[in-house]
Structure formats: C-alpha cells, structure tokens
Amino acid sequence: MKEKSYSQRRACALVGIDPRVYRRQTTRLEDRELRERLRELSGERRRFGYRRLHILLRREGWALNRKKLYRIYREERLTVRKRGDRKRALATRVSMAIPQGPNQR
C-alpha cells in the first residue's frame, strides 16, 4: 500500500482478503510461559503426545482446552518421537540344504 500508494480496499482485493481481516486486532494473549513449559514437558516425556501433555499441564494448574494446546503444539513443531525400526539382517540368507537321505534336516 505504501509502495504503490494503493487504497486499503484495492490492496486487499488484489491480495484476495477481506479488509476486515486486515484491520482486525488480535485479542490472543501471549503464551510464553505455557510454550516454555510445553517444550520442557515434551523434552522430558518424548513418547507423550499433546493429549497426555494436556493432562500433565492440567495437573499443574494450567487452564486451557485441547484445541488451543494442539495449536500451540503444532506451532512449536513438537511431535512424538518415533521408535527405531526392528533390526533386519544385512547379509543375504543362505538357502537351506536339501536333505539327501532319511533322518536329515
């Protein structure tokens, strides 16, 4: 808008958003302490997802719903750590010997 001296209405139309979206002020509170505590808990308990972390935070006295916690969880790019795969045999397997007579394996 400043560079091309477009009006707010025209700039929003070019970008494809409603001017009310551009003018709207956010009412969200800063969740700095909550984000830090969530990162600490997810570091300690790597196998816990956001649902189990929600239970732990509730026990500590945080009052928030799962949807907000999930949004913060995704914004912080936290995920459940995956377990390692089962070890596979690296060498090629030797085929079984064919029995040549009775009582042989």
Q: Whole-prediction pTM value?
A: 0.59
- Of the pLDDT bands very low, low, confident and very high (cuts 50, 70, 90), residue 101 is confident
- Of the pLDDT bands very low, low, confident and very high (cuts 50, 70, 90), residue 85 is confident
CA dihedral 60, 62, 67, 72 (to 10 degrees): -90
Burial 3-19 (b: 16+ CB within 10 A, else e): eeeeeeeebbeeeeeee
Taking residue 53's Cβ as centre, other Cβ atoms within 10 Å add up to: 19
Q: Which residue did the predictor score with more confidence, 1 or 61?
A: 61
Q: Is 101 helix (H, G, I), strand (E, B) or coil?
A: coil
Q: Residues 32-61: what's their mean pLDDT?
A: 94
